[in-house]
């Protein structure tokens, strides 16, 4: 379990390609310390990966075919910068929101617009993803816990404060680049529990939740 509060930006040092999988070697001076051991989980651009080896400031992780299909990890290259977060400690602060590290799909950067000290980021996504996204709700983008400021039938927007922009990789991206998206897990559980009502209503909205006793 993660919170979407990125601990550091690491660097891809090596990529070993298999038939349909890869092994990543990643450098991160923070996440490799503090008692991190082989078998621990580290989110890499929001994807939960298992540490298979540790050596100094680097660790390796296997990426299976399903993860490559669902995420943007397949486009990484040696030298790529990645957001890193260790699994949440039981006595840690819950600074973001509940993030499982299981990517739902990728979205596409549509625009960056600066507004005073903030940066608006618009991301295009499929209807399968957008139905879980609620204005003022939470979304994990490349492992970053962010608040949804706007959503419609084709895209959603978030606004970055300077700290988030400087301490993560999101503003490294260009228009057209893919990003990993993980919707708020609570929305998915609500849909499951409510059966077909959510799909019939066109998605989870504040009105839908109020009408159904939330």
Q: Are residues 71 and 131 both part of a single domain?
A: no
Nearest to 144 by CA among 112, 181, 111, 110: 181
Domain presence at residue 96: no
**Domain match, 64 and 141 both:** no
Q: Where are the alpha helices (DSSP H) in 74-184?
A: 127-130, 162-167
Q: CA separation (Å) from 121 to 95, 179, 183, 202?
A: 21, 12, 17, 24
User: Do 49 and 116 fall into the same domain?
Assistant: no
Residue range of the domain that includes 113: 105-211
pLDDT at 111 (0 to 100): 98
In the prediction, which pLDDT does 41 show?
A: 98
Q: Would the CA dihedral through 175, 180, 184, 189 be positive or negative?
A: positive
**Does some domain include residue 110?**
yes
Residue 141 lies in a domain: yes
What residues have CB less than 8 Å from 127, skipping those under 6 apart? 153
Query: Does a structural domain hold residue 159?
Result: yes
80 and 177 housed in the same domain: no
> Do 122 and 78 sit in the same domain of this protein?
no
- Examine the domain organization and report whether 121 and 204 are in the same domain: yes
Give me the CATH number covering residue 188. 2.40.30.20
Residues 149 and 135 sit within 8 Å (Cβ to Cβ)? yes
Which pLDDT does position 74 carry in this prediction? 96
pTM: 0.89
Output the pLDDT for position 208. Answer: 67
CA angle 117, 118, 120 (to 5 degrees): 155
Question: Which segments in the chain show pLDDT lower than 50?
Answer: none
List the beta bridge partners of residue 50.
Answer: 41
**Residue 188: predicted pLDDT:** 82
């Amino acid at each position: 379990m993660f919170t979407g509060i990125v601990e550091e930006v690491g660097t891809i040092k090596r990529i070993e390609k298999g038939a349909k999988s890869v092994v990543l070697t990643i450098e991160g001076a923070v996440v490799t310390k503090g008692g991190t051991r082989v078998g621990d989980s580290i989110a890499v651009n929001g994807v939960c990966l298992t540490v298979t080896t540790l050596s100094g400031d680097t660790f390796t992780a296997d990426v299976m075919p399903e993860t490559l299909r669902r995420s943007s990890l397949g486009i990484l290259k040696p030298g790529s910068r990645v957001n890193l977060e260790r699994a949440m400690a039981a006595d840690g602060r819950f600074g973001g929101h509940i993030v499982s590290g299981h990517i739902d799909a990728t979205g596409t950067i549509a625009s960056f617009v600066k507004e005073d000290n903030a940066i608006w980021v618009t991301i295009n996504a499929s209807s399968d993803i957008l139905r879980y996204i609620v204005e003022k709700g939470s979304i994990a983008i490349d492992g970053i816990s962010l608040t949804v400021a706007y959503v419609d039938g084709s895209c959603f927007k978030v606004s970055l404060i300077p700290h988030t922009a400087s301490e993560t990789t999101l503003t490294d991206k260009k228009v057209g680049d893919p990003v990993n998206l993980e919707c708020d897990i609570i929305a998915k559980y609500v849909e499951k529990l409510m059966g077909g009502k959510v799909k019939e209503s066109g998605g989870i909205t504040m009105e839908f939740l109020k009408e159904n006793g939330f």
